[in-house]
Amino acid sequence: MATIVLVHGIDQQQRSADSLENEWLPALAGGVRTAGFPALADRLWRVRSGPEGIETRMAFYGHLFLQPSQQGDDPGDLNPDEAAFADALGEEWLVRGAERSADKKVQREAARELVYLRGQMGAQEQGVRHRVARPVINSLARVPWFARFGLAFAERFVRKALAQVTRYLTDDTIRENALTAVTDLECQHYF
């Protein structure tokens, strides 16, 4: 069993445990070294496969969010219950940005988008395919934290993020499989 289990976040469905470990381990060791623990950093990175090494593994579950029989990483359409949950979640993200962001620009833009969104919600049907309402995605994509790489990227990221978080929280199979990926590598040793 791994001593340290790394757990990835949203939008990793096109990656693998191996590629993420190769990225994260040097960064983890570098942070530990910078904090003043060079011997521990070496055990994490330089001698990780030796008898003094610390086993560190990435729990991977990003593939659970890929759509069957589909190339790419488009999250697909949400069912009506998922769409309603995603709308509420997106609005809550705006509330949190407006109330808690340390960045005043984020606070102002999130508050402005909340006013817009609350005036628009329910004004239009989501359509036959029950997609996440465009106003939620558009509003989130205008908040600087999401839009720092451009509006088109922000809309794509927000749509995927809302879909993944929604499915994790509403689909028992996805959530159980993700948690199993973590607990299968669960720490049994402490240093």
| Residue-wise pLDDT tens digits, 148-187 | 655 566 677 788 888 899 999 999 999 999 999 999 887 5
Has residue 131 been placed in a domain? yes
Pair 160, 179 in one domain: no
Instruction: Please give the tally of structural domains in the chain.
Output: 2
Question: Whole-angstrom Cα distance, residue 11 to residue 139?
Answer: 20
Look at the block and give the residue holding tokens 């239009």: 124
Residue 139 and residue 116 in one domain: yes
pTM score of the predicted model: 0.74
- Cα separation, 39 vs 46, whole angstroms: 10
For 76-109, the pLDDT digits (tens) are 778 888 888 888 888 888 899 899 988 898 888 8
Residue 58, C-beta contacts closer than 8 angstroms, at least 6 positions apart: 5, 6, 7, 8, 17, 18, 20, 21, 24
Distance set, CA 147 to CA 139, 144, 155, 183 (Å): 10, 5, 8, 34
In a domain, 75, yes or no: no
74 in a domain, yes or no?
no
- Do residue 138 and residue 125 come from a single domain? yes
Domain ranges, residue 139: 80-171
